[in-house]
Amino acid sequence: MIVLDKTNKVFTLHTQNTTYQMKADQYNVLLHTYYGPRISGGDLSYLIQYADRGASPNPSEAGHRRDYSLDTLPQEYSTCGVGDFRLPSIEFEPEDGSCLADLRYVDYELRKGKYSLEGLPAFWGGSEWETLVLRMEDISTQMQVELYYGVLDRYDLITRAVRVTNLGTERVRLRRCASLCLDFQDNGDYDFITFDGCHALERNLNRAPLRPGVQSVESVRGTSSHHHNPFVILCDHSAGEDHGLCYGAALVYSGNFLAAVERTQLEHNRLLLGINPYHFCWTLAPGESFTSPEAALVCSPSGFGQMSRQFHRAIRDNLIHDPLRGRRRPVLINNWEATEFTFSAEKLVDIAASAAPLGIELFVMDDGWFGKRDDDCGGLGDWYVNEEKLPGGLEALVPRIRALGMQFGIWIEPEMISEDSDLYRAHPDWALGAPGRPRTRGRSQLTLDFSRKEVRDRVYADIRKVLDSAEISYVKWDMNRSLTDVWSAALPASRQGEVFHRYILGVYELLDQMRRDYPHILIEGCTGGGGRFDAGMLYYTPQIWCSDNTDAVDRLRIQYGTSFCYPISTMGAHASAVPNGQTGRSVSMETRGVVAMTGTFGYEMDLNETSQEEKEVIKRQVAFFKEHYDLIQNGDYYRLTDPFQNGPFTAWEQVSPDRREALVSLVTGTVHASAPFHTLRLKGLDPALTYQVNGGDTYPGDVLMNAGWPLPIILDDYQPMQLYLSAVQ
């Protein structure tokens, strides 16, 4: 609900559990007055205090009033060069070379429904949303800045985006444009939580108290990256899963980003989130506009768990476009770890034939099926079937797979090109690279310039021929390197600072076109695993390969960190063969299955090389997953332990929305002699209901949550356990 006080120019956004407020003051500076647990409202600007602070200058309108400074006031969208020395939200450079931005409130617009962003992913919805637009202007340059706010009451979700328009008569270069600026004027003892790592070890939770100065995470790799995720949390120092105030902020964007927090001279805090200003410079001719990516905010007065569940619900219901919405996604098997590049049509059919009797429903053919692709040094860009491997093409292969009762999926990497390819030989300038410089390879490949329409059109035309040649129901869209040599032959020198962003816009355009042309196809995103696991990609790809690391023990941490923002239903997760290719570790098929079904669920192995006993385990796992699909994929998610604490076990729980069902999953750690007894307290149950556990004894919900469930001593490392709870009628 959006409440307007037109007389005092106060704008209040209420959600179910939170309140957000800003006010335009006597000088039309837009001040941030409050964001936190829901309150009744009123003008909260009384909380702002004024004092003369040394080295904090005063705007012209304030005259000789030395207690009024942009450097000390909580601003809704921070300026630059005119007295606020903290992190700037925006920076633009007119023809005279000055870099000053002095924004003042002009007017507002209130709309029913959710705003949309042309060419960019964003949360969507109907009448359950409200939109507020606040217009600001820099009078000297006639640059207009519109702040967009979307309010989704039931999920405590507030979205923000910015549109900058040049209303003047001269060109202006936009050098920085954050999507979110959030000032906290209290002296909160906050921690900054980020999700960091590297390829095959993504989204490790890192928590540190704020210190004076700037703390930040960012990506300049052209992707949101394996190394830092565009989702961060600010929270009370004492906040935990079930208590404490926390603020989650996610950028709905897949390219270079910056998330920064500044602890100021007055011990106030400013959070900034948006496109990374590194090598960013967007030229706006008179009348032209630039739109920032969307940022999404959830404030939880009740700890991380409630924040995560609100993000999960909003992403599932109001961000992703799932072609199977309301239906179960198929359990799949992928051939990559079984064969890599070396396979034949007979080998693929053989793997599918071993999977079908176990209840697996989708066969995915991975890298190596196209062009001259026998290793990672060639073939990318030549999107036609290699008929030496697959005689007769997909027209011959796919009916054989479907005759087994299975659907068929395919791997592609549209953004990349190999130097050993027909496409590169014909169009070497289509790869990113500056003239006169040698190009940098990643995974022995170059990157196509997706900022160019002719490049996108050619690649998509070739891929369409493949998709039209057979009955394909799934596409895995991969991208296996970071961007280097970012220079486009299609843009003049003065506009090379646009290439990073135009590249991502091109990726989005092609994904959106594929989604519209093939509405039945489920697209899974992948960027060398989890290198682009962000809310922007989820708009186009309802699931993303969570990590190239399929080791079940490492996945406990990867999936734990991912769950703080992103739903279980978005995490691509497979049980793979052992010893694991990334770690050399061997754990049981039972353990691998329990971990993988905390995701989209599938297998990555040659089932012909498994024992009959393992096949029976797989068959039971697949049947169990199908039976409890809605609970696992759409239930409320509870983290019961933290795997980074290296405790005796890692446990998590899914609870149905009506709280009549729950599934508790657990994997033990390393075993030690004379192990103590442990009791696991459950969460999210209805205290008034009685639950039957694994078809046996019954226990009241309040007992299971407060007294807990006694865990047996398990004498082996990394062993699984699951408890299925159902309410007794």
pLDDT given at position 205: 98
Q: Tell whether omega for the bond before 286 is within 30 degrees of 0, i.e. cis.
A: no
For residues 651 and 539, membership in a common domain is answered with no
Domain contains 339? no
**From 137, 191, 262, 534, the catalytic residue:** 534
For residues 128 and 164, membership in a common domain is answered with yes
Share of the chain above pLDDT 70, in %: 100
Taking only the tens place, the pLDDT of each residue in 680-705 is 999 999 999 999 999 999 999 999 99
- Give the separation between CA 724 and CA 704, rounded to whole angstroms: 13
Taking only the tens place, the pLDDT of each residue in 489-541 is 999 999 999 999 999 999 999 999 999 999 999 999 999 999 999 999 999 99
Taking only the tens place, the pLDDT of each residue in 518-532 is 999 999 999 999 999
Please report which confidence band the pLDDT of residue 483 belongs to, taking 50, 70 and 90 as the band edges.
very high
For residues 626 and 690, membership in a common domain is answered with no
Residue 639 has phi, psi (to 5 degrees) of -85, 115
For residues 361 and 430, membership in a common domain is answered with yes
For residues 232 and 379, membership in a common domain is answered with no
Q: What is the rounded average pLDDT for all residues in the chain?
A: 97
Range of the domain at 183: 2-52+66-318
Which residue in 431, 468, 464 sits closest to 447, CA to CA? 431
Q: Which residue has the tokens 């196209």?
A: 370
- The yes-or-no answer on residue 498 being catalytic is no
Beta bridge partners of residue 259, listed in sequence order: 217, 273
Q: Does the pLDDT of residue 168 top 80, yes or no?
A: yes
Domain contains 663? yes
Mean pLDDT of 257-268: 96
Assign residue 703 the CATH number of its domain.
Answer: 2.60.40.1180
Which residue in 426, 159, 498, 436 sits closest to 298, CA to CA? 159
Domain contains 323? no
Taking only the tens place, the pLDDT of each residue in 358-371 is 999 999 999 999 99
pLDDT given at position 327: 97
Share of the chain above pLDDT 90, in %: 98
Q: Which residue has the tokens 């040094």?
A: 377
Please report which confidence band the pLDDT of residue 715 belongs to, taking 50, 70 and 90 as the band edges.
confident
pLDDT given at position 209: 97
**From 376, 429, 614, 686, the catalytic residue:** 614
Domain contains 334? no
How far is CA 317 from each of CA 270, 296, 321, 328, 695, rounded to the nearest angstrom?
Answer: 30, 14, 9, 15, 32
Please report which confidence band the pLDDT of residue 409 belongs to, taking 50, 70 and 90 as the band edges.
very high
pLDDT given at position 185: 86
Tally of structural domains, the chain? 3
Q: Does the pLDDT of residue 338 top 90, yes or no?
A: yes
Please report which confidence band the pLDDT of residue 187 belongs to, taking 50, 70 and 90 as the band edges.
confident
For residues 400 and 548, membership in a common domain is answered with yes
How far is CA 531 from each of CA 11, 72, 221, rounded to the nearest angstrom?
Answer: 38, 38, 10
Domain contains 152? yes
For residues 310 and 364, membership in a common domain is answered with no
For residues 632 and 626, the answer to whether their CB atoms sit within 8 Å is no
For residues 160 and 261, membership in a common domain is answered with yes
pLDDT given at position 41: 82
How far is CA 130 from each of CA 109, 113, 115, 150, 665, rounded to the nearest angstrom?
Answer: 11, 5, 8, 6, 39
For residues 277 and 381, membership in a common domain is answered with no
Domain contains 59? no
For residues 651 and 615, membership in a common domain is answered with no
Q: Does the pLDDT of residue 729 top 80, yes or no?
A: no
Name 344's Cβ contacts closer than 8 Å, sequence gap at least 6: 389, 390
For residues 274 and 371, membership in a common domain is answered with no
Assign residue 241 the CATH number of its domain.
Answer: 2.70.98.60
- The yes-or-no answer on residue 534 being catalytic is yes
E strands, 139-268, are 143-152, 157-166, 172-184, 190-198, 201-209, 213-219, 231-236, 246-252, 257-263
SS (H, E, C) 128-165: CEEEEEEEEEECCCCEEEEEEEEEEHHHCEEEEEEEEE
Q: Reading across the β-sheet that carries 332-334, which strands appear in turn?
A: 571-572, 543-545, 522-525, 474-477, 407-412, 362-365, 332-334, 602-604, 575-576
Assign residue 518 the CATH number of its domain.
Answer: 3.20.20.70
Taking only the tens place, the pLDDT of each residue in 432-454 is 999 999 999 999 999 999 999 99
- Give the separation between CA 74 and CA 33, rounded to whole angstroms: 7
Task: Write the DSSP assignment of 318-374 as a string of letters.
Answer: HT---TTTTSPPPPEEE-HHHHTT---HHHHHHHHHHHGGGT--EEEE-SSSBSS-S
Q: Does the pLDDT of residue 667 top 80, yes or no?
A: yes
Which tokens in the block code for residue 627?
């039976």
Mean pLDDT of 94-100: 95
Taking only the tens place, the pLDDT of each residue in 581-619 is 999 999 999 999 999 999 999 999 999 999 999 999 999
Residue 705 has phi, psi (to 5 degrees) of -85, -30
For residues 603 and 675, membership in a common domain is answered with no
Mean pLDDT of 285-291: 98
Please report which confidence band the pLDDT of residue 675 belongs to, taking 50, 70 and 90 as the band edges.
confident
Please report which confidence band the pLDDT of residue 186 belongs to, taking 50, 70 and 90 as the band edges.
confident
For residues 233 and 248, the answer to whether their CB atoms sit within 8 Å is yes
Domain end (from 579, 599, 633) = 633
